[in-house]
Amino acid sequence: MTAIDWTRATAAQMADALAAGEVTSVELVQAHLDRIAAVDGPVHAFLHIDAEGALETARAVDADRAAGVELPRLAGVPIGIKDVLVTKGLPTTAGSRILEGWIPPYDATVTRRVREARMPILGKTNMDEFAMGSSTEHSGYGPTRNPWDLDRIPGGSGGGSAAALAAFEAPLTIGSDTGGSIRQPASVTATVGVKPTYGGVSRFGAIALASSLDQLGPCGRTVLDTALLHEVMGGHDEMDATSLDEPVPAVVEAALAGAQMDLTGVRVGVVAELSGKDGGFQDGVKRRFEESLDRLRAMGAEIVEVSCPSFEYALAAYYVILPSEASSNLAKFDSVRFGLRVEKSTVEKTMLATRAEGFGDEVKRRIILGTYALSAGYYDAYYGSAQKVRTLVQRDFDAAFAQCDVLVSPTTPTTPFKIGERIDDPLAMYLNDIATIPANLAGIPGMSLPSGLAPEDGLPVGFQILAPAHEDARLYRIGAALEASLTAEWGGPLSAQAPELEVAE
């Protein structure tokens, strides 16, 4: 009999096995550290590994469990944290050279909640610099590679968090989603990712990209695992003025209910503008999407088509609002209080040199774009207009949700592309997020889960579900139902079909 490979288990299975005394947290953490050592060289999902810290947490959890102390559900289950969240005592860079070597003096609220849930933190996951990108190629520390094909991108900005899951380096990770940075990486790596309702998870201690769009969320390999982490992360926080003062939606309960595969009476809206009818969507992506709709129908859901005409302008509005807010948020990297300093004769010359050296090209592009959009004479035409488009997008969603309970679309127009393919064409890169951006503009929750592999290239396709604000639980109910239907056919999760990675000696 061979030993169980715990890295292949779900977080829920790990939690149950820990509670039943079938495995220790130290064994789980060590198995994942060994896996990281074996495969993360080429995958490069992690920027920093905290082996000793993770084992220390694991030992304490094991000791408490042996002593009969009551523990949170996920206590002892290891996790990876996107490098956008500050972690006291652990390096935090947000993927930027300007923060190389920075050790934050405090914990983000979500970091604190992970620690309170007694989850060993394996390390910090790679990302596009300051979360600007859809491929993780804009990381200041080199790209992450997609475990399904190491020549391809793992999505972005949270490519590290998604690749860590797909490579079985962690059962759970945390992401941040400003325009799709949780959902799009989930789509291209055959994993699950959720952007909660804006304000559902505290942003305190998350290095801000665009404050009116950013939302932290859970990433996992199954819908239930993602729900378990959502409940750890979510909830009101007085340290974030935009935090919703309401209970965390009952997402675990919704995931369990969805797995019963009964969607009788659920109305599912297909967004005409996001379903690839006008081209631009890969054939295999459309095919898997249509098949998933058939599955929802077979479980009792009613499928209706809805139109959201303003979505045509969402991408443009996003690329005005995001750079405007980012140019302001990134002003704090001024060489004075923390981070890089390239010393020159005056403080102004020092700032100019520091920001030139510390920021990558994509960050520079967006800061300049934002500075332009906010400058006198252009503000109304760009920023003011973009805020109006935001209203129109919200109205489209309101009208659509009057006709149905959830909206669905493919998460991304294509399967993962090759590293380097779009790096010199920013607009082509921005189009990756065409289906995910509207949710951020409106603040509504969204999920991506695997819907299969595209027949033409054998690469993952994601299915996106969107729900009205505060109705995050609906994502989990519909998502769990679709997942149950698909995995019954596949004979297990899609992630199990990923090619074996070469293991380093």
Partner 1 sequence: MSSLDRSDVARLAALARIDMSDADLDRLSGQLAVIVDAVAKVAEVAGEDVPATSHPIPMANIHREDVVRPSLAQDDALAAAPDAEEGRFRVPQILGEEA
Binding to partner 1 (CB under 8 A): which residues in 82-111?
Answer: 102-106
Of 160 and 196, nearer to partner 1 (C-beta) is 196
Residue 157 annotated as catalytic? yes
Please provide the size of the chain in residues. Answer: 505
Cβ atoms of 94 and 207 closer than 8 Å: yes
- CA–CA distance, 214 with 418 (Å, rounded to integer): 27
Sheet holding 215-220, edge to edge: 46-49, 121-125, 79-82, 172-177, 215-220, 192-195, 446-453, 460-466, 406-410, 267-271, 302-306
376 makes contact with partner 1 (CB under 8 A):
no
Question: What number of other Cβ atoms are within 10 A of residue 66's Cβ?
Answer: 10
**Would you say 188 and 410 are in contact if contact means Cβ atoms under 8 Å apart?**
no
Among 30, 212, 487, 497, binds partner 1 (CB under 8 A): 212
**Residue 82 bears catalytic tag:** yes
Q: How many CA atoms lie within 13 A of 360 on its CB side?
A: 21
Find the binder of partner 1 among 63, 66, 69, 381 (CB under 8 A).
Answer: 381
Binding track over 240-269 against partner 1, x by CB under 8 A: -xx-x-------------------------
DSSP element (H, E) containing 352: helix 347-358
Nearest to 467, CA basis, from 435, 445, 483? 445
Question: Among 176-184, 367-375, 399-407, 477-485, which window interacts with partner 1 (CB under 8 A)?
Answer: 367-375
Question: CA-to-CA distance for 199 and 445, rounded, in angstroms?
Answer: 10
Number of shown-chain residues binding partner 1 (CB under 8 A) = 74
Residue 247 CB, shortest distance to partner 1, in Å, is 16
Stretch that binds partner 1, among 62-70, 145-153, 352-360, 404-412 (CB under 8 A): 352-360
Q: How far is CA 441 from CA 388, 436, 471, in A?
A: 11, 10, 16
Q: Which of 53, 256, 365, 457 binds partner 1 (CB under 8 A)?
A: 365
Q: Of 335, 411, 414, 485, which one interacts with partner 1 (CB under 8 A)?
A: 335
Map the footprint of partner 1 across residues 459-478, applying CB under 8 A. Answer: 469
Say whether residue 313 binds partner 1 (CB under 8 A). yes
Q: Which is nearer to partner 1, 64 or 379 (CB)?
A: 379
- The count of C-alpha atoms lying within 13 angstroms of the C-alpha of 308, restricted to the half-sphere facing its C-beta, is 33
Binding mask 282-311 for partner 1 (x = CB under 8 A): ----------------------------x-
**Choice from 316, 379, 423, 457 touching partner 1 (CB under 8 A):** 316
Decide if residue 320 touches partner 1 (CB under 8 A): yes
Q: Which of 391, 420, 499, 502 binds partner 1 (CB under 8 A)?
A: 391
d(CA 238, CA 245): 9
Angle between helix 51-66 and 25-43 (nearest 10) = 160
Question: From the candidates 96, 157, 243, 485, which is the catalytic residue?
Answer: 157
Is 334 one of the binding residues for partner 1 (CB under 8 A)? yes
Smallest separation (angstroms) from partner 1 to the CB of 378: 8
Pick the closer one to partner 1 by CB: 76 or 413. 413
Min separation Cβ 428 and partner 1, Å:
10
Which member of 52, 348, 489, 500 binds partner 1 (CB under 8 A)? 348
Asked if the bond preceding 157 is cis, omega within 30° of 0, the reply is: yes
Query: Do 283 and 410 touch, CB atoms closer than 8 A?
Result: no
Half-sphere exposure (Cβ direction) of 293: Cα atoms closer than 13 Å: 20
Task: Count how many Cα atoms sit within 13 Å of the Cα of residue 156 in the half-sphere of its side chain.
Answer: 31
Choose the catalytic residue: 96, 139, 181, 335. Answer: 181
User: Of 173-202, which residues contact partner 1 (CB under 8 A)?
Assistant: 197-199
Q: What character string, x for contact with partner 1 (CB under 8 A) and - otherwise, covers 422-461?
A: ----xx------------xxxxx-----------------
Q: Which amino acids are annotated catalytic?
A: 82, 157, 181
